[in-house]
Structures are given as structure tokens and as C-alpha cells.
Structure 1
Amino acid sequence: MWHDNRQDKQWPGPRGWKNKNQGGWGKSSKKWDNSEYLSELKFEDVPRPKKPRKYTVSIAVPASILEETCLKDELRTYVVGQIARAAVIYSIDEIVVYDDMCSQKRGTTNAAHVTPKSAGDFLEMMRTLLEYQECPQYLRKHLFQYNAYLRSVGVLNALNSPHHLRFNQWCEYREGIVMEGGGKNLSYVDVGLGVDVSVDHKLKPGLRVTLKMPPETKEMKKPYGVVVSPDEPREKAGYYWGYTVRVAHSLSEVVTGCRFPGGYDLLIGTSDKGENIKQTDLPEYSHAMIVFGGVDGLEVALEADEKLEATEPLQMFDIYANTCPLQQSRTIRTEEAIVITLAVIQDKLVHSGTK
């Protein structure tokens, strides 16, 4: 059976997936339903992509933008929401939130009682909001408890990602949460269908999992599924299946903390001091990382990181690119740069990604 490493996250409060003992806006105690609900429901089939995708694309975003360019929590929340939207629109598989100032002197705080401004913890705010946005709506009540970081989520626009399925949409894959109950070798999973799906393994209640269900499940009174890797929908069927979120406390950790085997084999830095991306060809890659700078650019992040031997961006990145060479505004905000860059570079990424 696939081991979903999301159960290994031990972040307290709002910082990650939660187990049944952490509380939330809802409870993970939904009982098994033997009704004929599924057989009576008319499903809308989700179109299957033309081919699977092996390569991945990641972006790194500095959390300092929430402190330096946003004055209120509502605006900070909206900006993070726009970053999440851009990530989904352009099929980004991983978002790394990093501290471009390497300021690790901040103490731990309880997010339920403080604001990000008083805690100074914009890394956690950005991570929490990105994870909240990525999570399918029907799972949020189980996985997130209310806290200061989520006070303004009403301003967020829906992602409408392929894995954010409505109850009447059919896809062979679905995200779910393991419910209470079951047997020695049996667990029930809520996948947003109104009826729990059984799996033939005993799993920890409160664990988020990815299920694959056979077509006949649509007609079953007691549907069943198989737990698979969260990467399988992309690698075997070609579905875009959301992004993961990782925190890095420096620019160097963006690279060294890579979760993919072999690390990133294509590093792209973005700056108005870089080369015109339209005149640059990308080499073939398996895992690409695109790094964005804060208000003062990547040069400042490079200088602040004492672990880096590189003194110039060109020494660290395979490509140092200017994705908007004709800009007329004196500055481009980071959230704007993300949209511009991904729009300009998408075709190149698709063409050069490992087939």
C-alpha cells in the first residue's frame, strides 16, 4: 500500500494536516451510509487529460512580500489567494515559501490568539493560506481549525482545481479523509460523495489520502477504493492534482530541501536584471524550480544567506531571466511577476519537460 507522507506532518494548529485530536470546524466522525444515494445520482464525468505528465514545476515565493507590500490582513490574504490561483492555472506542483531575509530569530506563537503582524510570522501565514486554498472544500472543516491566519478567507477566490470535485462530478481519483470506525483491516474515507468509501487497510483517522475508485463504484451501495500516491493522478492519468507547500528558512533551503529524488535539475531565477526569457531555450528537465524575489530582488536574498557560496545570481541559477523586458512601471509586484512569468514560460516548460 502507498504510504502517504502527509500523515507524517506534525505541525501544530493551522500549519498542516490535522488528526482527529486536533479539532477543527467539523468532526471526523461521519458514519457509514448504506443508502442507494450513489446509484440514484447522475454523475458528470470529468474529462480525462490526453496524456500523463512525469515532470514537475515548482515556484519559490518570499514571505516578506506580505510584510512589505501589504498593510492589512485582508490584503495579505487576497495576495496569497492570487498566488494560489496562478499556481493552479499554470499547473504548478509545489510552492516553496521562503524567508529571503533569513530572519530566524522569531519565536513560536499561538496563531489562534495573535495577528501575523504582532507575531511577525508571515511564513506561517502564507503557508497556512496556501494549504487552505489547495484543500478541497469538503475537507477543510476536518483539516483546519479557525485561527488568526484564516480570518479573512472570505476574500479568497475559488481555485476550481481538477481535484476540487463537486459531489456530482465523477473522476477515478478523489481526495478524502479517513473517518472514525472501520474494522481491523478496513477504513472508511469521506471523499465528498455523500457516502463514505471503504478501503481494505486500517488507516489513522484524520489522515488525508488520495483514492482511486473503479467505474463501477458509481453504482454501488457500498463503494470501495484504493489508496494511491498523490502523484499518481498526474503521473499515470495526466490530471493536475494541486500543489504541495513547503517552508524554507533561506534561499539555499529552497534548493536543498527538495522532495524530489535527485533534486531540481533546472533552476530559474527571475529579475529585471536577467536575460530576456524569450531569447532563452530551456534544457530538458524532470524537476524545475522558478525562484521569485521580494521587493529588493533575489540579489538581497542571495546576500542574506550565509550558507551560499555564490555571490552572484548567475552562479546559483541555470537561467537568470527577465520575463517582462518591456515593463513601463518602475516596479512589478511579486504576485504580478508570478503570473507574468508563468504565462510567458509555460510553453517552454511543457516543451522541455521529461516526456
Structure 2
Amino acid sequence: MKGPNAKKRKTSHDQNNGRNDNQDDIFTSKPTAVFTPKGGRSHTLSIAIPGSIVANCHSVEQKSFLAGSIARALAVFCVDEVIIFDDDEKSNNTKKNNNDSNDANDSPITKTKHQISRDDSQPGGFTAYSDPSHYLAHLLSYLETPPYLRKHLFPMHPNLRTAGLLPSLDMPHHLRANEWCDYRDGVAISETVVDTGLPQKVNVTNEQYSDNARVTVRFSSQDEPDNADAVGSFAPRTEAGYYWGYSVRRCGPLSSVFEECPFDGGYDLSFGTSERGAPLTEVLKQDEGDGGGGDPGYKHLLIIFGGVAGLETAVRNDHQLREMGIRPTEAEKLFDYWVNILPGQGSRTIRTEEAVWLGLTGLRGLVEGTHRLRGSS
């Protein structure tokens, strides 16, 4: 048996290429689609969804399934940020009145990943009915967190009583103890010691943290797994090109999605989705260049999905947009592009969790650089 100091297996992206060495048959008992970084990435992909979609589900199991379906889409399509906004007037008024209070229902990931506190995820009780936005943020935050950190960052809570029904996301930062990566997420157990899920604890000398703070570290060498430097949670993406999970931001009405953008300069490209929008085929064209991988043509891309009654309802219930004179029929003015992600749909409605998958699929070419906006050079 290997000792605790044995080297960890470095995650390989070409181990047998999923093929059994002794046979010509494809070996499919284990997944082989391992994420391969392609160099530092500065551009980001964000989506915004209304928390009210949780209220449209009747049972607790349906609510959990909805959160799990959205989380799977975020992971599969490498979404960097998900924003949960309120599209009903009652929630907006409550949010406005309690804006300055220290509400125990605030999601732990409304803060950055480095500022999560155990106390932030401990509201008084089950919030799927009383505060659907908090419930959705809580579950999405829980699923994004590496499994070996969840016991530290997410105490037992009524919202997590159906956690066993939630799917695994298996993202690049959800590392096993026997997998090696130059970056790793951990939790501070003292000012300079971090538990990263490895057998040995990691000493961090360039920063000091409070207990139970979530920390991203970078190792200088696989030969020294007990020493590392603390880095920003965005460093794996910007330095090496890893997809390192998504942040969860909860905000008030639709206008606050833009106003509270965490990126310098805001979102420079935005899409609003509606059955009354233009088909994506009229908005995008295939790139005639090198087939993708270059400059995507934007810095921070935002895709906003509406709830049961569409984005027009979110505009109607946004007091700031009303003061600006923007009517529900003018919702498209808020976005650079107003698109229909599935023209000719066979069902009368497309659920938001379905629209997220469809929208991210339709805009995948733009994200990957294989497609460009029509009219752009």
C-alpha cells in the first residue's frame, strides 16, 4: 500500500485516449472527457435567471431537480457567473426594504469565494417557499463547492435535505485526493494552514485567513505539496485557462443585474431571450477565420433568461426601469441583442431550465470563437 507521501496521480488528458490497450474496443466504463486548458482566459460568460422559477415547482423534489439541472448546464458550458434576480414586485420591495440589514438568508456566494462564512448559510429554516431566490442560490453554491469542502462550508440545513438527489458536477476543481493539479481549492483551518483535500495540510505564507475561509492555492511543484501560494479564485482561469467553477450572485430587480456587475467596465455584450426575439441564425454567422480559439470579440458576455411570464414581467416590476420610462414592450432596449433561442418550438412554453440549455447551446459558437456576430469584422 502506498504511504501518505506518495505522489498523486497527475490528471492526464490522453491516458489511453479511453481505449483498452488489450483490445480494439473503446473503454467506456469511466469518463474520459477531461477538461483541457488552452492557456489563460480573460473573457467570461455569465447568465442571469429569476429565482421565481423555483416557486413554479410544486414539490421539494421538483425544486431540487430544477436547481440540479441548471447547475449541470453551468458546469457543462463552463459558465463563470450565475446571477439570480427577482422578477416579481413583492420580492423587489422586500429586497429594497431589507437592503441595509444583515439578513441571515443571504446566500454565502453573494460574496466572493474567498469570503464565504459558515454563518452565512444558516437562515432560520427551509426557504424554497418563503424565499425561492435564496433557496436556488444556496443549492447552486453547494453544488459548485468541491465535495471535500462542503462539510466545512455548508453546515446541516433544511434547504439541503434533498442533497442526495442533486447531481454531481465533477468540474475541474472537484479534484480527488489522488489527482494532481497546480491549483486547488481549500479551506483555512488556521491563519496560514489550508486543508485542500490532500492527506497533508498546505502551508500558505503569502496571506493570512480566518478559519473556514475558502482559499484557492497554487503549488510551485508536485514535489512540494505541503507548500503553496494563495491566489485569487480567478487565477486558474486567467493564468492557465482552467474552468474553475462559477460564482453565484444574488441581486434585486433586473436593472441590478447590470448595475452590480463585478467586472470592470460591466458586461460589454448582452443577450436577452424571448420568443419575440430574432432567431440566432440572423444574429450569428460562422467565422471564416481559423476555426475558433482566438479573440472571441467580447470581454464579459451576459445572457439573461426570463421566468414563466418572460423578461417583460421583470421589466414591469422593476421600479427603476419604470422611472426611466422603459415599458415591458420595450424590454429589448436593455440588451445588445434580443434573441429567440428556438424558433418554431413545438410546446407552447419553454421552461427556464430548458431555455438555459438551449441558449448556451445556441451561443456556444460565439463563446468558442467559431461564430461571430453579423456585422462584426
TM-score range, shorter chain: 0.7 to 0.9
Contact 1:266 1:285 survives alignment (8 Å)? yes
* Amino acid across the alignment from 1:114: G
Would you say 1:340 and 2:358 are equivalent positions? yes
Cα drift, residue 115 of structure 1: 2.8
The C-alpha deviation readout for 1:146-165, integer Å capped at 9, x for no partner, is 11211111111100100100
Contact 1:173 1:213 survives alignment (8 Å)? yes
The C-alpha deviation readout for 1:285-337, integer Å capped at 9, x for no partner, is 10011000000000111111120123212211100000101211111000000
Contact 2:128 2:159 survives alignment (8 Å)? no
The C-alpha deviation readout for 1:130-187, integer Å capped at 9, x for no partner, is 100000000000001111211111111100100100011111000011113x6xxxx1
Would you say 1:304 and 2:317 are equivalent positions? yes
Structure 2: distance between partners of 1:113 and 1:75: 22
* Amino acid across the alignment from 1:50: K
The C-alpha deviation readout for 1:194-244, integer Å capped at 9, x for no partner, is 2101111332221111100022xx334x61000111111111111000000
Quickly say closer, same or farther: Cα 1:88–1:342, change in 2 above 3 A. same
Where 2:346 maps in the other structure, the secondary structure is coil
- Residue of structure 1 in register with 2:54 after alignment: 66
- Residue of structure 2 in register with 1:192 after alignment: 197
Quickly say closer, same or farther: Cα 1:234–1:306, change in 2 above 3 A. same
Q: Equivalent residues in 2 for 1:315-354 (5 A)? A: 315-351=333-369
Contact 1:46 1:171 survives alignment (8 Å)? no
Q: Equivalent residues in 2 for 1:1-355 (5 A)? A: 37-38=4-5, 40-47=6-13, 48-68=36-56, 70-102=57-89, 103=91, 104-105=93-94, 113-116=124-127, 120-180=130-190, 187-200=192-205, 201-215=207-221, 218-220=222-224, 223-281=226-284, 284-308=297-321, 309=324, 310-311=326-327, 312-351=330-369
Greater RCO (Cα-Cα under 8 Å, separation 6 or more) = 1
Cα drift, residue 263 of structure 1: 0.6
Structure 1 gap segments, 5+ residues each: 1-34
- Report sequence identity in percent: 38
Dislocated runs of 4+, deviation >6 Å: none
Contact 1:60 1:96 survives alignment (8 Å)? yes
- Residue of structure 2 in register with 1:28 after alignment: none
TM-score (norm 2): 0.77
Structure 2: distance between partners of 1:153 and 1:287: 32
Where 2:314 maps in the other structure, the secondary structure is helix
TM-score (norm 1): 0.82
* Amino acid across the alignment from 2:275: D
Contact 1:112 1:148 survives alignment (8 Å)? no
Cα drift, residue 77 of structure 1: 1.3
Cα drift, residue 46 of structure 1: 4.6
Structure 2 gap segments, 5+ residues each: 14-35, 106-121, 286-295
Where 1:64 maps in the other structure, the secondary structure is helix
